[in-house]
Amino acid sequence: MTETRTDNRSRHESGRITRVLLDEERLHARVRELGAEIARDYAGRDPVVVCLLKGGIYFTVDLTRAIDLPVTLEFVRARSYVGTDSTGRVELAWIDGLDIAGRHVLLVEDIVDTGLTLIEIWHALEARSPASLALCALLYKEKLLAHPFPIRYIGFAIEDVFVVGYGLDYDERFRNLPHIAVFQPDGPSA
């Protein structure tokens, strides 16, 4: 089933999916573990989960259902990538009305790559005076970060490849794949 879906949707006009990195089963097992860990750490509290859109949507939906606590769900939109290249600029939207003063905030991200997006949103959230602020990232690229930052919960540390699926896109494609796959753009190195 998974293979058929990969085959049917693996091509894009400027590249293709080369392999599955994390299948649905591994993803869901790890998400359940993270949810249980977060529920233990935040026991007796009612955290605000801030989902970073669009990439964090599938992860957040599954993760919050695995956290056996009353949670409030909020969304912020960030954009830093065009194709597979960082634009070096991060735009945040929908953060103005976010009321998190005095609340325990857990930011949920799809992936920390250079860390630039994280730095932007971290400062924007901190400026709203939460009682505490922590980050949960599904994926973390094991390379030197331009801006190292504490990540309390990490789903998987991965190699430095461009990945799609389970929320992650290439030019808005592939977000709805149920697994995480490696995308190889066409070009001299393909």
Active site residue 113: yes
Tell which positions 46-75 bind ligand XMP, by CB under 6 A. Answer: 55
Query: Using CB under 5 A, which of the segments 8-16, 63-71, 81-89, 127-135 binds Mg ion?
Result: 81-89
Is it true that the peptide bond before 141 is cis, omega within 30 degrees of 0?
Answer: no
Contacts with Mg ion, 160-189, as mask; x by CB under 5 A: ---------x--------------------
151's contact among ligand XMP, Mg ion, none, with CB below 5 to 8 A by partner kind, is: none
Question: Which residues are at the interface with ligand XMP (CB under 6 A)?
Answer: 55, 80-81, 86, 109-118, 162-164, 168-169
Catalytic residue positions? 113
